A and B are shown apart, each in its own frame.
Chain A
Amino acid sequence: MSLATLDLPARPIGLRGRLSDLLVRRGGLLTLLLLLPPLLWLGLVYLGSLFVFLGQSIFSIDEFSGTIVREPTFATLIELFRPANYDIVLRTVAIATAVTVLCAIIAFPIAYYAARHAGPRAKAAFYLAVMMPLWSSYLVKVYGWKLLLAKEGAIGWFAGRLGLTGALEAWLALPVVGGPSLSVSYTGMVLTFTYLWLPFMILPVQAALERVPGSLIEAAGDLGASPAKVFRTVILPLALPGVVAGAIFTFSLTLGDYIVPQIIGTSALVLGQAVYTLQGTAGNIPLAAAFSLVPILVMAAFLAIARRTGAFDAM
């Protein structure tokens, strides 16, 4: 057994070699060099802008001239609690809650089927079927619902064919959820939001359900629990972190949206619209900043609670 000798001329260590040596010897330097450009970008461009904008919530606006008074004050933040503004916040949180609950109800069977009953091929198909709408254009999806919900649109037509026109009109006649047509009602708005964010609920719930060992469900069944009881006492608690993880998305996305209410919805403002009008036509940047703090704070509170349920493992 033998190996031929390897005669290679020793190559001089050039600038590149010395740089490589330095990076290998000092791993921290490499990390720093890699991190610096993206950190500068996000830290300066993004965080900087964010602080400048949100920081203006402690300024106020001069009622007469409409200019910003650059003196620290709590007046603007307190203004959020004026009934008209407070209503906007409550209305938006209520819509977000309704959307989240609807998403959870529709998402659960899909996630459960994909996690526990689908074979590898069906699972891949399910995944794609959820991913495609998730990534397809937001505006296109909103547009799809505008088509469906329009007075002369498909939902109304199908309701007529099925003899449900009366039921639809009765629903639209209801005080809060109703309106002149589905496309200018809270019902339409909530449906559209539910549609938009549904994939964000399905994926984490499915991930959580996939972590429930099948033996656990069988064991509960062996111990004499009825399917309904197994579902309530075993499956639901174990799926909860996934639902909470999904709710983080559905809740936060609804809180910040202003386009759906603009296209499908009533004339009453939601948070996103309020921010939009305040920074635009009203020119009241301090109040816009104060309003922007609301979804951020609501989400921070939500995240703090979610952390306890283990929702982050399900994302």
Chain B
Amino acid sequence: MQLASSNQTSRLDGLTLGILSLGVVGAGVGFFMAMTAPPDQSQGFVARIFHLHVPMAWMAYLASFAALGYSVAYLVRRKPHHDRVAAATVEVGLIFMALALLTGMLWARPTWGVYWDWEPRLTTTAILFAIYVGYVVVRGAIEDPELRAKAAAGVAILGSINVPISYMSVRWWRSLHQTQSIDLTTGKINVDAAILIPMLVNLAAFTLLFIGLVRLRSIIAAREAAREEV
């Protein structure tokens, strides 16, 4: 019974492959559009890294929300599937977070003159990165699958709640960053359409990639779990 149900989720389905390939194609198209977009008024061609940096940072925070949701779902429903998806979102999110930090640093050097600055979004992302590294380490340290799932869910829930608090605390502490491209609180858009459209294409492509990668990772995890049970 248990085996049959885990076999079902461990099948590599067409949907996952479709999402992944659409994401890869979309990322290619987005890259082309970003490279042909007009240069920024003040920053010139350097600003094009923004087409990679913003979607990556967006993925990182999407991962944090998804991990929170699936972790709560696991604690309530106790389905191993939720735990596997939560772990997958954290792992994929960790990669995007590292890339966002890296592209951010590469961008900061020519524009701000330094690789690192104690800016709220940057610092919050770094803190979140440390929390998720802890998440992965905890998963590696606990062998019992149920105990591991519960502990991981606890870490993910506490960590995701921390995001707004650490953001506010660092923001009061110190500030300097590009204004947000899309202000979520007022819905105001601060970017010209010629740059906005490629960015939205990139955003969509990266979101598809994220979903595809998470699905792929949970399928692999399901297969691993099924093998351990046999």
Partners in one complex: no
Contact surface of A with B, Cβ cutoff 8 Å? none
